[in-house]
């Protein structure tokens, strides 16, 4: 079902856990849809570089793997750079997900956005990518394509 890279990230997820007193934190998803992801950020306020990132995920294999690889991709980038990452990048880095699971990769993108927004709000930072962002509307949007091929 999943390729080797996805399974590796699922079995050995990178950056699982929490950060005490994080500079930013975001959570998306809901119980109804069956996947929830929370991201914690530690950011250097002068350089804006993401020095540490941790996640917790409730969800299926691809939700966990997407979370894991996304944190790897985000770590060390500036917030600005990291905000450019989309679920397409996550998918590509994972080497693809089954069609019905593609929506899981959106979760990571959304969770990071929410955490970055939290950081921006608390530290009075402004990012072009977050200009029209509203945490309410950012509810992880599920568009399951049930076709199996």
Residues that bind other proteins (CB under 8 A): 1, 7, 10-11, 13, 16, 27, 31-38, 56-61, 63-64, 100-101, 142, 144, 146-149
| Contact residues for 64 (Cβ-Cβ < 8 A; gap 6+) | 9, 10, 13, 57
Q: Which is nearer to other proteins, 3 or 121 (CB)?
A: 3
Nearest distance, CB of residue 131 and other proteins, angstroms: 27
Q: Extract the tokens encoding 79.
A: 């917030």
User: Choosing from 33, 60, 129, 130, which is the catalytic residue?
Assistant: 33
Residue 29's SS3 state is strand
Nearest distance, CB of residue 15 and other proteins, angstroms: 11
Q: Which is nearer to other proteins, 64 or 127 (CB)?
A: 64
Q: Which is nearer to other proteins, 28 or 127 (CB)?
A: 28
Answer whether 1's CB lies under 8 Å from 98's CB. Answer: yes
Strands across the sheet with 35-43, in order? 24-30, 35-43, 50-58
Nearest distance, CB of residue 74 and other proteins, angstroms: 17
60 labelled catalytic: no
Q: Which residue has the tokens 């999943």?
A: 2
User: Choosing from 63, 69, 70, 104, which is the catalytic residue?
Assistant: 104
Residue 3's SS3 state is coil
List, by residue number, the catalytic residues: 33, 104
């Amino acid at each position: 079902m999943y390729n080797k890279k996805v399974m590796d990230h699922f079995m050995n997820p990178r950056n699982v856990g929490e950060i005490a007193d994080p500079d930013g934190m975001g959570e998306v998803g809901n119980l109804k849809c069956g996947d929830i992801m929370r991201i914690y950020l530690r950011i250097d306020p002068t350089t804006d570089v993401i020095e540490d990132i941790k996640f917790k995920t409730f969800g299926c294999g691809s939700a966990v793997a997407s979370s894991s690889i996304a944190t790897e991709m985000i770590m060390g980038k500036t917030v600005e750079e990291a905000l450019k990452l989309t679920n397409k990048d996550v998918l590509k880095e994972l080497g693809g997900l089954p069609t019905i699971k593609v929506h899981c990769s959106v979760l990571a993108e959304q969770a990071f956005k929410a955490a970055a927004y939290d950081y921006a709000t608390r530290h009075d930072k402004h990012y072009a990518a977050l200009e029209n962002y509203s945490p309410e509307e950012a509810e992880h949007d599920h568009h399951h394509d049930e076709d199996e091929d």
